[in-house]
Amino acid sequence: METASRFAVGLTGGIGCGKTTVADLFAARGAAVIDTDQIAHGLTAPHGAAMPALIAEFGPDYATPDGALDRAKMRALVFSAPSARARLEGILHPRIRAATAAAALLADGPYTIFVVPLLIESGTWRERVGRVLAIDCSEATQVARVMARNGLTEDQVRAIMAAQVTRARRLEEADDVILNDAGIDALLPQVERLHRFYLDEAARLTVPPSQRL
Ligand code: ATP
């Protein structure tokens, strides 16, 4: 018997390009959306599933009084001691993978969209999804949006962008691209077109091999 496989899309993009905004539009059309950033945040939220291991590794000083990860302190440690990043990722990454897989098993809807900010950087996602969708905008737009949303300076936003792959590299890796430099109205036809394409791909996957073209 053929194993049922679900068509999946990996949605990525640089900080502030509009991943969440676009993912919400796909979700509104029925796609199952799994946001790996939200999963990661949940693991380090107050009494999140990764907190006992993080406290054991880094000490109770790295937890806030309500039992969440002290992000500012961890960020400072990771910047000053690169080996701390590997220790942090060693705890978080397997748990993110397991929680993502569990969420994928429960997902309904015709296909799944995994929102993965560092999809290109992290390497293992490519072979786990049928298509890579990049949300693209100019660097100037990214800077303006993140400054407005997070109250950061231009230098702070550019430092985060410098730690991500370049726009050109992301576009090179993408199968599909949504341009998000204009308003929300400009997103709708692009989302509609790709949603129809992904529905077709998902339907094609469920057709028995003997009936495939
Ligand atoms: P991050 O990488 O930080 O998680 P993201 O890629 O998920 O960000 P969003 O959170 O969707 O990006 O968008 C960043 C900000 O820009 C938000 O405040 C959002 O409301 C705004 N934004 C996104 N797209 C548009 C658009 N087309 N028009 C106006 N504002 C937008």
Residue 36 Cβ inside 6 Å of ligand 1? The answer reads: no
Q: How far is the CA of 30 from the centre of ligand 1 (A)?
A: 21
What the chain holds in terms of domains, given with CATH numbers, is 1-31+110-205 (3.40.50.300), 44-108 (no CATH)
Least confident of 12-21, 97-106, 203-212: 203-212
Any binding-site annotation on 20? yes
Q: How many A from CA of 44 to the centre of ligand 1?
A: 23
Closest CA to 94 of 137, 154, 54: 54
CB 15 less than 6 A from any atom of ligand 1: yes
Residue 72: the pLDDT is: 92
Mean pLDDT of 178-188: 96
The pLDDT mean for the chain works out to 92
Residue in 28, 198, 18 with CA at minimum distance from that of residue 115:
18
The whole-number pLDDT of residue 207 equals: 62
Q: What's residue 3's pLDDT?
A: 35
Q: Report pLDDT digits (tens) over 67-99.
A: 999 999 998 999 888 899 999 999 999 999 999
pLDDT of 2 higher than 60: no
Task: Summarize the confidence of residues 195-206 as an average pLDDT.
Answer: 93
Q: Give the Cα separation of 96 and 37 in Å (integer).
A: 9
pLDDT at 83: 93
Identify the band that residue 209 occupies on the pLDDT scale cut at 50, 70 and 90. low
Confidence of residue 4 (pLDDT cuts 50, 70, 90): very low
Q: How far is the CA of 150 from the centre of ligand 1 (A)?
A: 11
Q: What is the pLDDT confidence band of residue 1, given thresholds at 50, 70 and 90? A: very low
Residue of 165, 139, 166 whose CA lies nearest to 154:
139
Please work out whether the CB of residue 180 comes within 6 Å of at least one atom of ligand 1: yes
Overall average pLDDT of the 156-172 stretch: 93
Provide mean pLDDT across the span 98-125. Answer: 91
Find the helix packing angle between 184-206 and 19-28, rounded to 10°: 60
Percent of the chain scoring above 70 in pLDDT: 94
pLDDT of residue 148: 95
